[in-house]
Chains A and B, each alone.
Chain A
Amino acid sequence: MRRFVRDNALSLFFLGLFALALAGQSVAGTAAYNDRQLAEGGAPVSWAGYVTSSDFAVDVAENWQSEYLQFLLFILATVWWVQRGSPESKKPGKEGPESDADQQVGPHARPDGPAWARATDLRQTLYGNSLGLVMGLVFLLSWLAQSVAGLAAWNSERLSRLQDPLSWWGYVTSADFWNRTLQNWQSEFLAVLSMVVLSVYLRQRGSPESKPVGAPHRATDVEG
């Protein structure tokens, strides 16, 4: 048990933070929602009513989709583009999907490597892109969830303002949908940019996200 916790401490730490933050969001969100309800002459809802509402779902989904998009783009962009000096980047000259020998696939696979890496058919292609495929799929599903939950939340708000509700297509081409989407995207892209550029010049001793403290600024693909 102790060994399991030590071996998985990083995942467990973030799982715990995720659960706490989601719980906190649900409590603060219920209070904020009921504040608005009372101000508009409506009836307050319970915590259970709020966490099963479209308002909660859209707030969760819009953040999920942007996080998964961020990692998807980071995973794919770092295949083809480099940033000299950044520990997040490959060495200049190694752009692209690399050779089978570099990637240890097909005849170059290690005996203890994943079974699908040894395959020479579609399974190798699928497994070789599985991280991007799954991140991309979760991004699309979360974005779809945002559009459906956002439609319900936006139409509820429109009805309370005595306006006609919109269709799904009307919503996904509306200012509300793109405002929610782009305000999340811009912050994610800025965070990635900051990580890529700042890690060229700044260090965090002991972190694999940083170069070793004494590594030169021009050293690329070196993790501390």
Chain B
Amino acid sequence: MRTRVILATAVALAAGAASAGCASADREPARSAAESFYAAVTAGQGGRACALLAPEAAASLRSGGQGCEQAVLELDLPGGAPGGAEVWGDEALVRLARDTVFLHRFPQGWLVRAAGCRPRGALPYSCEVEG
């Protein structure tokens, strides 16, 4: 009896861990948040774009008297059509045609943690904005 309990627990642990890691239902909200951010920047709506940034990322754009609303519109964010997305825990990555976006899940939903990111091999991505 005890053996069966241990086996069932180990299987449940593996299944739970797998579902925690590969939650495909989470990909769409993350992709949609990335698209909304780029759409706001393209439309010149700096305030709306900043509201979709994670607090640390938004704060990193405030410098020299310039607010996030202006700074976000001056970033080099080529974007493009959304491709694949991956969600692991509370972190997500959305690939766009010309750059990559990283997001974090907050209580209010997915917010952009880094955008305008380009790969650097084994090193972390180099991003236009990150926080």
Q: Which residues of A contact B (CB under 8 A)?
A: 41-43, 45, 52-55, 57-58, 60-61, 64, 134, 137-138, 141-142, 144-145, 148-149, 151-153, 155-156, 158-165
Contact = CB atoms under 8 A, between A and B. Distances in A.
A52 B20 contact: yes
Given A57-B20, A149-B13, A141 B89 contact: no
Nearest to B60: A41
A58 B18 CA distance: 11
B117 A57 contact: no
Contacts of B11: 141
B104 A164 contact: no
Contacts, number: 110
Nearest to A160: B91
Contacts of A152: 17-18, 20-22, 88-89
A165 B88 contact: yes
Interface residues of B, number: 40
A162 B102 contact: yes
Interface of B: 3, 6-7, 10-11, 13-14, 16-18, 20-22, 54-57, 86, 88-93, 102, 104-107, 113-114, 117, 119, 122-125, 127, 130-131
Q: Chain A interface mostly helix, strand, loop or mixed?
A: helix
B105 to A, nearest CB: 7
Nearest to B10: A141
